[in-house]
Amino acid sequence: MASPTPSPSARSAEALDTKTLLAAYRTMVLSRAVDDRCLSLQRQGRIGFYVPASGQEAAQIGCAMALAKEDWVFPAYRELGVALWRGITVGTLLNQFVGNSGDPMKGRQMPNHYGLRDANYVVASSPIGTQITQAVGAAMAMQRRKARAVTVTFFGDGATSSNDFHAGLNFAGVFRTPTVFFCQNNQWAISLPREKQTKSATLAEKASAYGFDGIVVDGTDLSAVYQAVTKARDRALAGKGPTLIEAQVYRFGPHSTSDDPTRYRTDAQVNEWKQKDPILRLQLALRSAGALAEADDAKILADARALVAQAVEQAEATPAVEPRTLFDDTFKVRTPQLEEELAEFDRLLSEGVIRP
């Protein structure tokens, strides 16, 4: 095992200024606050499922900071920090977790599988690795349209064993698509440790078989991730093809709320990695630079928790999805068969056979 705000246009790979670092820190704290509350909500039966991102905030937000608004994100299902940085609000996320009428997807996706067109953030799906080939296909479309944009796809170490990983990287290498492959190596594919997944010294080196560069970066270092992604994006836009980035991080919590990590890893191991907690790491850097007073830091945390609490309250007070929407969005105009089924559905609703 290895050692342990809305996005502006992409910046250069110069050192990040204090204002930007503070914005990143606030987003990281907010991401952790959402995680903490949503894990609690799931245990209380108030949402059905949740996938935490604690420990991976610097990797996600550092990557998102290096992207431009016109770039497209193809997430797995753990990229909360990316979503927040690209402007997806906590309220929108909570509506999706609850599955109420405020959910842009009308409750049709399982919790934590969100997306938003306005943020160029594609809806996540559960099958492992499928987003990788989708991102490559979208990048090829960008090439043909001569668009000045890239796609970035997120996945974990376990997904490097999937068919879509190898098919996607091979295709991207052959056609030199403007794709950034961002692997969050959090050391566990659910309960399978990284060393039992592959004998490759690194996951990044797998890129060389497909004809392009792979690099390893400390995923707990926000600035290091930002610079790595900035350079990969610049290469892609210059026609030099894709890059595979392996961000080495550690998943502090469970794989999901369906998982019990105490069955396959020790507290000592988790505590060792928590010494490199990305939020504490950036906090110490900002305090050492005199950019973050203790009182201001306490307010950032309090504001984040208050924002999450308000979003939970509003989401739970928002009415459920109107059941007739079940018949919307499949076709631009409903087919005769769907009209018949809707009429039957209305009858069953009126008779109380079906209850909203």
According to DSSP, residue 276 is labeled T
Of 43, 148, 264, 324, the active-site residue reads 264
Of 78, 86, 233, 251, the active-site residue reads 251
Sign (positive/negative) of CA torsion 55, 228, 3, 281? negative
CB atoms within 10 A of CB 327: 15
Beta strands of the chain (E only): which ranges? Answer: 72-74, 151-156, 179-185, 188-189, 192-193, 213-218, 243-248
Is-catalytic flag, 255?
yes
Distance CA 69, CA 148 (A): 11
Q: What is the DSSP secondary-structure string of 137-196? A: HHHHHHHHHT-S--EEEEEEGGGGGSHHHHHHHHHHHHHT-SEEEEEEE-SEETTEEGGG
CA distances from 139 to 34, 72, 203, 204 (A): 31, 9, 22, 20
Is-catalytic flag, 347?
no
| Residue pair 307/90 in contact by the 8 Å Cβ criterion | yes
Sign (positive/negative) of CA torsion 78, 76, 43, 313? positive
Of 86, 113, 233, 255, the active-site residue reads 255
| Residue pair 298/304 in contact by the 8 Å Cβ criterion | no
Helices and strands, counts by H and E, the chain: 11, 7
Sequence-ordered list of residues with C-beta below 8 angstroms from that of 120, at least 6 positions apart, any chain: 69, 70, 71, 72, 73, 86
Nearest to 80 by CA among 46, 53, 101: 53
Nearest to 265 by CA among 251, 280, 249, 248: 251
Sequence-ordered list of residues with C-beta below 8 angstroms from that of 101, at least 6 positions apart, any chain: 318, 319, 320, 321, 322
Is-catalytic flag, 210?
no
The encoded tokens of residue 33 equal: 């606050």
Nearest to 62 by CA among 18, 89, 25: 25
Residues annotated as catalytic (active site), given as ranges: 251, 255, 264
